[in-house]
């Protein structure tokens, strides 16, 4: 059973998405530790449900039902096994693959007749390789030799453009997902894939692929919604700092050396009381607003920390906002968060208030 099959579990897909990231932990955990992971999964699902208005007995019934569903799902999907690749990259073309690409319509019709099914159905997929094999072997010897030479050419250089276009439509997203998963699992590397290709109609397609939300992280666009209109490298740097900015430890438990170049802090003009003076926010471009907000608040945070240079605890500031900041200095309904997770509208509202 693959991870994408939910047989044996009545959990809806949205609930499965909330606990799928715990599956690897469940598989590697000892038996005594698995109960904790199941409880963690139940907690994640219940946090997404609105049951506060229900009577306590009804709430308890729902929690018990979810717990049983989560337990069943983990036991159905938690058997330790080597995960299958999402797709097999074509390393070397062979005669059969060339025939399948060049005689797609003929092979498809034969497969329809043989399986009495349409492309995508299980019976069709099950019979496809056998039908393709028989069709390729039925070709005259000189034609098979021709296709073998083409297979070598496609492997050593590249297939023709129309074949590349079909490959892009069929496999590009799966290739990108497989690459993203391997880079995360083996290298701890977050990435998005920006690509451009011609589709089978010859039209230029420009796209991005982001699977971070399926790999235990947050989607780039969710954290940095302005990325398509701002400097991509600045937006990517902010995303990386937001999602991967914590200290990484080596095998001995010590922090790894930080090879990142230290950014020069923004400097502000000061008034007679040494309080920083903001420039006109209407003249600021979007990518400047975040560092301005971060540094401006950091300066005030340090002033009220008796001059000690300390990092702003954004979580504490968010949870205790009314105790730490007079509401009159903030826009209506404003909620503090780490500046890297604010949107342009938040920066503008705060700076212009």
**Rounded Cα gap, residues 3 and 11, in angstroms:** 13
- Of 199, 195, 197, 191, the residue nearest 208 (C-alpha): 195
185 Cβ contact partners less than 8 Å away, ≥ 6 residues apart:
none
Radius of gyration of the chain (CA): 28
**Rounded Cα gap, residues 249 and 257, in angstroms:** 9
Q: Give the total residue count for the chain.
A: 353
Residues of the chain with pLDDT under 50: 1-9, 246-264
288 Cβ contact partners less than 8 Å away, ≥ 6 residues apart:
none
- Of 242, 325, 230, the residue nearest 287 (C-alpha): 230
pLDDT given for residue 184 in this prediction: 92
**Rounded Cα gap, residues 231 and 162, in angstroms:** 34
pLDDT given for residue 309 in this prediction: 66
CB atoms within 10 A of CB 44: 16
**Rounded Cα gap, residues 82 and 85, in angstroms:** 9
| Tokens read off for 244 | 């991967």
pLDDT given for residue 234 in this prediction: 73
CA angle 165, 170, 172 (to 5 degrees): 80
Check: pTM over 0.75? Answer yes or no: no
334 and 350 Cβ atoms separated by less than 8 Å: yes
Q: Where are the domains of the chain?
A: 13-77, 86-159, 269-352
Q: H or E element: which one contains 136?
A: helix 122-137
Helix or strand or coil: residue 285? coil
- Of 143, 154, 152, 217, the residue nearest 183 (C-alpha): 217
Annotate 212-228 with DSSP letters as a single string: GGGTTS--HHHH-TTTT
**Rounded Cα gap, residues 149 and 155, in angstroms:** 10
């Amino acid at each position: 059973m693959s991870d994408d099959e939910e047989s044996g579990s009545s959990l809806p897909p949205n609930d499965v998405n909330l606990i799928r990231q715990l599956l690897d932990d469940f598989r590697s955990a000892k038996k005594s530790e698995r109960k904790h992971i199941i409880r963690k999964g139940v907690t994640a699902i219940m946090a997404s449900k609105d049951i506060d208005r229900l009577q306590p007995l009804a709430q308890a019934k729902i929690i018990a039902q979810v717990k049983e569903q989560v337990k069943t799902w983990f036991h159905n999907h938690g058997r330790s096994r080597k995960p299958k690749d999402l797709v097999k990259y074509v390393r070397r073309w062979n005669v059969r693959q060339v025939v399948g690409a060049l005689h797609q319509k003929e092979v498809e019709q034969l497969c329809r007749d043989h399986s009495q099914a349409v492309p995508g159905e299980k019976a069709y997929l099950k019979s496809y390789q056998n039908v393709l094999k028989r069709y390729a072997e039925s070709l005259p010897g000189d034609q098979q030799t021709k296709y073998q030479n083409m297979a070598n050419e496609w492997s050593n250089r590249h297939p023709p453009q129309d074949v590349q276009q079909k490959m892009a439509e069929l496999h590009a997203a799966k290739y990108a997902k497989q690459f993203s998963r391997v880079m995360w699992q083996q290298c701890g590397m977050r990435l998005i894939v920006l690509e451009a290709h011609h589709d089978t109609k010859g039209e230029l397609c420009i796209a991005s692929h982001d699977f971070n939300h399926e790999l235990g992280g947050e989607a780039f666009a969710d954290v940095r919604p302005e990325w398509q209109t701002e400097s991509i490298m600045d937006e990517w740097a902010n995303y990386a700092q937001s999602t991967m900015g914590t200290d990484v430890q080596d095998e001995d438990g010590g922090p790894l050396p930080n090879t990142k170049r230290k950014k020069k802090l923004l400097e502000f003009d000061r008034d007679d009381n040494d309080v920083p003076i903001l420039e006109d926010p209407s003249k600021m471009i979007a990518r400047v607003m975040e560092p301005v907000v971060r540094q401006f608040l950091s300066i005030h945070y340090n002033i009220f920390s008796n001059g000690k240079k300390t990092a702003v605890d954004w979580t504490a500031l968010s949870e205790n906002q009314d105790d730490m900041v007079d509401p009159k200095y903030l826009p209506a309904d404003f909620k503090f968060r780490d500046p890297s997770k604010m949107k342009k509208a938040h920066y503008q509202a705060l700076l212009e208030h």
